[in-house]
Structure formats: structure tokens, C-alpha cells
Chains A and B, each alone.
Chain A
Amino acid sequence: MIISIASGKGGTGKTTVAASMASVLNCSVYIDCDVEEPNGHLMLKPEFKNEETVYKLLPKIDYNKCNLCGRCVDVCEFNALINIKFEIVIIEELCHSCGACSYFCPGKAITEVEKEIGVVRSGMFNGNSFFFDGLLRVGEVSAVPLIKKVKEKTSTKNITIIDSPPGTSCSMVETVKDSDYCVLVTESSPFGLSDLKLAVGVLKTINIPFGVIINKYSENFPDTEKYLKEENIRLLLKIPFDREIAENYSKGILPVELSEKLKEEFLSVLNEIRVEVESTGINAG
């Protein structure tokens, strides 16, 4: 079973929730897909065992064969190739590695070479649980190819918890799209609610069952619960707005490490999710 943890807004507590879930389970798999700013390792403190370099493909032009016809420039939808009369310039950041330029080159002058975009790190935590994260190279702009690579670590046997990047665009969708269930983490504030609605929009579009955890919960902001009730969205858990939790988070200590009650609550949320996933039979894929 794959459970992804997402939120429109950043800093609502995705990593706290994802790491808490992964740590209360025995033999779980935790995957951090927030490759721009991965933080899960700070909470779960895995012992890193391995690091794989991830590459993207870039065109390389053999000027013995190139006659500067400009076909490659014409077929590149991303303006990554520019014909400056005596040379074809490649703007690496704009290249999406689609392969069209080399395919259409009439002189077969273009080959594709690998360029490093980041690494996938792997390790163990809590004795028998698996940890994976992706770390995008600083300066690299496109996270999706690396997210795809980290996601390959998803396990079919164990419960896999995937930590998503914030937002609602391509990186978030790439992360959550094959999940059996998605947990949206929001916070008791108008910002949290506004971004929760956007994230709900994404999950409805791509048809993934989901529920909501309200973190930094405050009774002074009842709007979130009202919205969930109106939309008939399952509220999985409320985690109180508590200075102590914030202080411990800052030190890399998960709230479930200090509260037996919260640990039980997370286990029962996980159980609830399992029941829902099994009953809808979406688990088949």
C-alpha cells in the first residue's frame, strides 16, 4: 500500500506526519520526494548506506556531421537549442530530454549524453525500515526526473509512505499520482485552508482517495472543519497547536517519540486508511 503525504501550503507539517507514520510502523518504507528541500532524514535519522547518481540526457552535436540545417532547433518545443549560424548552442536548463532533436536530425549528428542532476540516497532507520530520498543538485531547475527515480523505490510488500513537495503543480502530481491514498496536511489558518482547497482540487482531478490531517489545530479557526464537513471529506486527525511540539520539531524530534497517545492515534489513522483502501479495491494496481 502506498500512502502519500501532501499539502498545497509549505510548512504545514507534511514531513512531521510522513515521518511519524513511517516511524510508528514496523518495517516501513519512507520515500522523500521533496527533492528540492528534503527534510525527512533530519527527523528519521537513517544510517545512509548508498548513494546513486541520477542523470538526465542532453543532446551533443558532432560538428563533423552537423551542417547547421536547424532542424533540431525547429523541433525543440522548449527553445533549448539556438542556431547562431556557426554553431548550435544548447541551453541545458531548458532541455526536457525528450529526444526529438536527435531523432529528427537528418545527418545523425546528435547523440545524447548524461548530465548529473542529483542523487538518490538510501539507508535504514528504526532497525528494519527503509529510507530513500532524492537530493536535487543546487542550480538544477527541474525536479520531476529525480522524483520519478526516487519513486522507483516504492515497495509492493511493505507500507510505503511518500513525502511530497509542497504546491499543486507537476512535482506534487508526479509524487502522489500512483498512491493508493493521499493524506493532505493543513493547518488552522486561512492560508492553510486556501491551499488545502487547491490540493483537494488536484486529488479530485487525478482521482485519488484522500483524507485530511489538521496540524497546528486551533479552535479559533473552525472554517477548516466546516469546509471538510460540507465537502464530505474525511478528517483523519487533529494535532494541537502546541509550542512544545514546535520546539521539539526544531530539534528534529518527532511528536510521536514523546507522546504515546499520538502514536496510538497515528496507528489508528493508518488502520482507517488501510480499511478504506481495501474496501474500495484500488489496491489492485
Chain B
Amino acid sequence: MPGNNYKQIVFLSGKGGTGKTTMAFAVSSLIKDKVLIDCDVDAANLYLLVDPVSQREYQFSGGKKAFIQKEKCNECGLCETLCRFGAIKNFTVDFLNCEGCGFCARACPSEAILFEKNISGSYFDCRLDDKTGFYYARLFPGEGNSGKLVSEIKKKAKESINGSVKYVFIDGPPGIGCPVNASIAETDFVVLVTEPSLSGVHDLKRLIQLLQRFNLKFGVIINKHDLNPGLTSEIELYLQNEKLPLLGKYPFDKRIAESIKKKIPVTEINKEYKIVSENVLNRLENYLAESKKQKLMEQ
């Protein structure tokens, strides 16, 4: 496998709506040999910007669900007693609550409970008009196991990577839970997109704690920095004190919504965005080169 010549970059934010997708699109649009993966499987948005020309759909099964066969059930009620998720009432399984543990099916004395694979979403293997690989997914409403779907879509994307690909850009999900953990697996660098709001900073710090547990390299983008200059300086000071790299600062711009509508990178609407994005990319490349050097020295 020529494989690991590429670098995997993940965009995360903790808080939603800070600009992960916009930034991932802006920065990645400056590079040619890349693969794009949208790992926000709950609410994918990147496909709205990149316009895939072809796509192949794959089904995803997050797990199994229980189903009680009325004709075999003798209504002993054991399943209802055993189920920890309150998913069984009146000898019927509520699919939304069923965790897929199979406890009931295994315990049922009259073998009345079927326990079968459940299709909980699909993912798409797409090509853009310049042949760039693009992957995204759609989890069906209310389904769980989004972490598994993230892992599956990443695996699919990597199967198609050839030697010329330099970067895999991943648009990550919000939060700090299971899909985020699956997104940062095997990653080389995490770009944290934050904003100078109390909640943006609060969520950034929780996410940093998570990344530090995994010993991951990361840098920070402050989006909408001019909305609260005081808090922006506080974030900068915090990053300085913690010796964490600041990758760039983007101004607040109402025209972003328009750029999304027109499917063009914000870098083409706002000149400052282009300059900042180029700087972000340069810094990113420097950090990656540095960490490669460090690894070689350690060996």
C-alpha cells in the first residue's frame, strides 16, 4: 500500500454553527490532490457546496432490532422486565427505544422474539467534476450508532485513495461524543473552529481536553473574531499560555450565507478570507512538517 503519504485533517468545534463546514471548504478548496469526507452524519451539509457529479449509495446497518412475533408470544412478560431501555410495552417493541442489545430475544422462553439487522442509514461514494473523491452519509431519523457510520464512511474513503492524494479533509460533527471520537481516529491534525462567544469558548475548552487525552496535534481558528474583540484577545492569550497554535482569524461576514447559496468558497467573496485561508494552510503544512521531523528525531 502506498497509503500513508497523505495527511488526515479534521475540522471540529464542539459548539455547532461556528463555521466548521465553511472553513473546511475554504481551506480545502486551495488544494488539488485531496479527498473530502463529511463526518457530520446527522446533518451533512458539505454536499450542498461541492456538487458531486456522480454517486454510489451503500446501505448502513448500525445494529439489530428486536421484534416480537405475536403468534409465538405467550405473554409471560419476561422481556419487559429485563429490558433496561423501556423499549417493550404490551408485548410490543418500540423501535425508537430499542437499544439493539438482543437481551430479550436471547432470554425469551418461547423464542418468540426475532432479532434482525436494521438498515439505519446510507453513505455515498461520490466524485466531483475534477475527480476528487467526496464522501458523505445520511443517518435515518432517530438512529444511533453514528460513530460506527463515521468509521465505515472513512474506511470506504480510504479504499479509494491513490498515491497522488496529499490530504484527506474531514468536516466533523459537533459535540464531544461518539461520532467525534470516531472522526479523530488516525488523524494527523485537528483544526478547531471557535468563535468569540461565551459558549464557543466553553465548548472549545472541553474539546481541547478531549484532544489532549488522545495526544492529538491541533490548532485553532477564531471565526467572527470582530464580534467580540475582548473575548478574542482572551482566547488568544489562553492559546499563548497553553502554547497552542492559532491558525487564523476570520471576520464576521453576513455574505457567507450567500456564498453557500451560490456554492462558491467564501474565499471568492471576501478577499480577507482568501488571505487568512492561505495562511491557515501554510501554518498547517508547517506544523505537519515539524511533527514529521520530530517523529524522525525520536526514532
Hey, what's the 0/1 contact readout for A170-187 against B, CB within 8 Å counting as 1? 111100010000000001
Rounded to whole angstroms, the CA-CA distance of A201 and B139 in the bound complex is 12
Confirm or deny: B152 has a beta carbon within 8 angstroms of a beta carbon on chain A.
no
Contacts of B275 in A (CB 8 A): none
Given known contacts A99-B82, A251-B228, A11 and B103 CB-to-CB distance under 8 angstroms: no
| Residue from A9, A139, A189, A246 in contact with B252 in the complex, judged by beta carbons closer than 8 Å | A246
- Contact across chains for A247 and B96 when beta carbons are under 8 A apart: no
Rounded to whole angstroms, the CA-CA distance of A195 and B43 in the bound complex is 6
- Contact across chains for A142 and B178 when beta carbons are under 8 A apart: yes
- Contact across chains for B144 and A169 when beta carbons are under 8 A apart: yes
Rounded to whole angstroms, the CA-CA distance of A169 and B85 in the bound complex is 16
Given known contacts A75-B102, A78-B101, A168-B42, A39 and B141 CB-to-CB distance under 8 angstroms: no
Closest to B83 in A: A98
Contacts of A138 in B (CB 8 A): 176, 206, 209-210, 213
Given known contacts A139-B213, A250-B227, A250-B228, A221 and B261 CB-to-CB distance under 8 angstroms: yes
Contacts of B141 in A (CB 8 A): 168, 173, 198, 201-202, 205-206
> Closest CB of chain B to A210's CB: distance in Å?
13
Given known contacts A77-B64, A138-B206, A250-B231, A165 and B175 CB-to-CB distance under 8 angstroms: yes
> Closest CB of chain A to B98's CB: distance in Å?
11
Confirm or deny: A55 has a beta carbon within 8 angstroms of a beta carbon on chain B.
no
Rounded to whole angstroms, the CA-CA distance of A93 and B228 in the bound complex is 38
Confirm or deny: A220 has a beta carbon within 8 angstroms of a beta carbon on chain B.
yes
Query: Residue among A75, A96, A243 with the most chain B CB within 10 A?
Result: A96
> Closest CB of chain B to A100's CB: distance in Å?
4
> Closest CB of chain B to A168's CB: distance in Å?
5
> Closest CB of chain B to A184's CB: distance in Å?
12
Confirm or deny: A264 has a beta carbon within 8 angstroms of a beta carbon on chain B.
no
> Closest CB of chain B to A227's CB: distance in Å?
14
- Contact across chains for A168 and B43 when beta carbons are under 8 A apart: yes
Given known contacts A77-B63, A167-B42, A142 and B177 CB-to-CB distance under 8 angstroms: yes
Given known contacts A205-B142, A246-B252, A251-B228, A221 and B63 CB-to-CB distance under 8 angstroms: no
Confirm or deny: B257 has a beta carbon within 8 angstroms of a beta carbon on chain A.
yes
Hey, what's the 0/1 contact readout for B58-80 against A, CB within 8 Å counting as 1? 00000110000000000000000
Please tell me the number of chain A residues within 8 Å of chain B, measured between CB atoms: 62
Confirm or deny: A166 has a beta carbon within 8 angstroms of a beta carbon on chain B.
yes
Within 8 A of A (CB), among B182-218: 195-200, 202-203, 206, 209-210, 213
> Closest CB of chain A to B78's CB: distance in Å?
11
Closest to A242 in B: B254
> Closest CB of chain A to B153's CB: distance in Å?
15
Contacts of A198 in B (CB 8 A): 42-43, 141
Rounded to whole angstroms, the CA-CA distance of A168 and B21 in the bound complex is 18
> Closest CB of chain B to A172's CB: distance in Å?
8
Closest to A8 in B: B43
- Contact across chains for A11 and B18 when beta carbons are under 8 A apart: yes
Closest to B230 in A: A251
Confirm or deny: A114 has a beta carbon within 8 angstroms of a beta carbon on chain B.
no
Contacts of B99 in A (CB 8 A): 96, 98
Within 8 A of B (CB), among A85-116: 96-100, 103-104
Confirm or deny: A20 has a beta carbon within 8 angstroms of a beta carbon on chain B.
no
Rounded to whole angstroms, the CA-CA distance of A36 and B203 in the bound complex is 9
Confirm or deny: B174 has a beta carbon within 8 angstroms of a beta carbon on chain A.
yes
Hey, what's the 0/1 contact readout for A132-170 against B, CB within 8 Å counting as 1? 000010111111100000000000000000000111111
Rounded to whole angstroms, the CA-CA distance of A99 and B101 in the bound complex is 9
Closest to A39 in B: B199
- Contact across chains for A170 and B143 when beta carbons are under 8 A apart: yes
- Contact across chains for A42 and B103 when beta carbons are under 8 A apart: no
- Contact across chains for B84 and A99 when beta carbons are under 8 A apart: yes
- Contact across chains for B15 and A37 when beta carbons are under 8 A apart: yes
- Contact across chains for B176 and A167 when beta carbons are under 8 A apart: no
- Contact across chains for A99 and B103 when beta carbons are under 8 A apart: yes
Rounded to whole angstroms, the CA-CA distance of A257 and B173 in the bound complex is 31
Closest to B22 in A: A191
Rounded to whole angstroms, the CA-CA distance of A171 and B146 in the bound complex is 11
| Residue from A42, A98, A243 in contact with B198 in the complex, judged by beta carbons closer than 8 Å | A42
- Contact across chains for B261 and A250 when beta carbons are under 8 A apart: no
Confirm or deny: A188 has a beta carbon within 8 angstroms of a beta carbon on chain B.
yes
Q: Which residues of B contact A (CB under 8 A)?
A: 14-18, 21, 41-43, 45, 48, 63-64, 82, 84-85, 96, 99-103, 106-107, 139, 141-147, 173-178, 181, 195-200, 202-203, 206, 209-210, 213, 224, 227-228, 231, 252, 254, 256-258, 260-261
Among all A-B residue pairs, the 4 with the closest Cβ atoms: A10-B16, A11-B17, A167-B42, A98-B101
Q: 20 A-B contacts, Cβ less than 8 Å apart?
A: A11-B15, A11-B174, A36-B175, A36-B177, A37-B174, A75-B106, A77-B63, A77-B100, A77-B102, A141-B181, A168-B141, A169-B144, A191-B260, A194-B45, A205-B141, A205-B142, A206-B142, A221-B257, A247-B228, A251-B231
Q: Please name 9 further chain A to chain B contacts, defined as beta carbons within 8 Å, in addition to the given A99-B84, A241-B254, sorted by A numbering.
A: A37-B15, A37-B203, A37-B206, A42-B202, A103-B82, A138-B209, A190-B48, A198-B42, A252-B197
